[in-house]
């Protein structure tokens, strides 16, 4: 049987079982990096989690996997500074609700304007949050410049003991659910910058899959992200794409107007 929780979220009799395994994978990953058993971890799990709030599911999400991992780190390892970074194309409203005004959590959140869950524009985020709302058709240059200016200084100043990533790859230009113009190389760049700016975490990074609904771009983006997480340097796609950016190739005309 199929049980409809809202317009987007349904359950079968095995859905909660799968969701518990997804959250459990993040708990295991936190254990591994905190005990020095792994050099960063990527959790390839579904269902995703960042729309699930304290007391309700939503947006395909049943349990907020990243929030479970963060609370496990706080409860079992007594951490006081955890950075949660959400680069899914959709606003991480569940994570924002769970950790609102929690000084132990720095929540860096980016999303495309005009997309589910349609957050209110103009409202100030919680003091422990930095929201970046990207206009439709935003591409690599604007994305990277904004991250450099708004996220990285705040992340470095926070000095996290652990970094948790809500790794959504639906901001890729080929993804059918979003309307941003990112390239898989942008996810490699972002991963490198996060690790570089969060040296205080001593390599303790747990990445958790969120969105990504076009298989080709999801695979390419996740592979680029994993390449950097594994400490292998810059993937070939990033080397080629960075040359493209340095040559000053024109981006989408709509993005040029935004600049």
62-71 pLDDT, tens digit per residue, is 999 999 999 9
Q: Which residues pair with 232 in a beta bridge?
A: none
Q: Is 89 helix (H, G, I), strand (E, B) or coil?
A: coil
Mean pLDDT of the chain: 94
Instruction: Show the tokens assigned to 238.
Output: 């990033």
pLDDT at 253 (0 to 100): 44
126-135, Cβ contacts within 8 angstroms, sequence gap of 24 or more: 126/96, 126/99, 126/100, 126/101, 127/101, 128/99, 128/100, 128/101, 128/102, 128/103, 129/96, 129/99, 129/100, 130/106, 130/154, 131/91, 134/110, 134/171, 134/180, 135/258
Instruction: Show the tokens assigned to 194.
Output: 């996060």
Report the predicted TM-score, pTM, of the whole model to 2 decimal places: 0.94
CB 70 within 8 A of CB 105: yes
pLDDT grade, residue 105 (50/70/90)?
very high
CATH fold of 3-258, please?
A: 3.40.800
Is the model's pLDDT at 256 over the cut of 60?
no
């Amino acid at each position: 049987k199929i049980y409809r929780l809202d317009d987007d979220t349904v359950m079968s009799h095995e859905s909660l079982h799968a969701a518990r395994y997804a959250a459990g994978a993040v708990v295991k990953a936190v254990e591994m990096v905190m005990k020095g058993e792994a050099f960063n971890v990527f959790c390839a799990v579904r269902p995703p989690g960042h729309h699930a709030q304290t007391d309700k599911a939503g947006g395909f999400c049943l349990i907020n996997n990243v929030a479970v991992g963060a609370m496990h780190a706080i409860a079992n390892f007594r951490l006081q500074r955890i950075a949660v970074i959400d680069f899914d194309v959709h606003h991480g409203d569940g994570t924002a609700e769970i950790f609102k005004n929690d000084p132990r959590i720095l929540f860096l959140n980016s999303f495309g304007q005009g997309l589910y869950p349609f957050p209110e524009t103009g409202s100030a985020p919680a003091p422990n949050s930095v929201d970046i709302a990207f206009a439709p058709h935003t591409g690599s240059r604007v994305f990277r410049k904004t991250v450099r200016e708004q996220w990285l200084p705040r992340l470095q100043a926070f000095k996290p003991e652990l970094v948790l990533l809500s790794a959504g790859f639906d901001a890729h230009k080929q993804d059918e659910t979003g309307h941003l113009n990112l390239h898989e190389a942008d996810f490699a760049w972002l991963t490198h910058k996060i690790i570089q700016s969060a040296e205080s975490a001593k390599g303790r990074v747990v990445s958790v899959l969120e969105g990504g609904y076009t298989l080709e771009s999801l695979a390419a983006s996740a592979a680029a992200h994993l390449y950097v997480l594994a400490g292998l340097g810059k993937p070939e796609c990033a080397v080629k794409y960075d040359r493209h950016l340095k040559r000053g190739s024109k981006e989408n005309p709509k993005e040029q107007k935004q600049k």
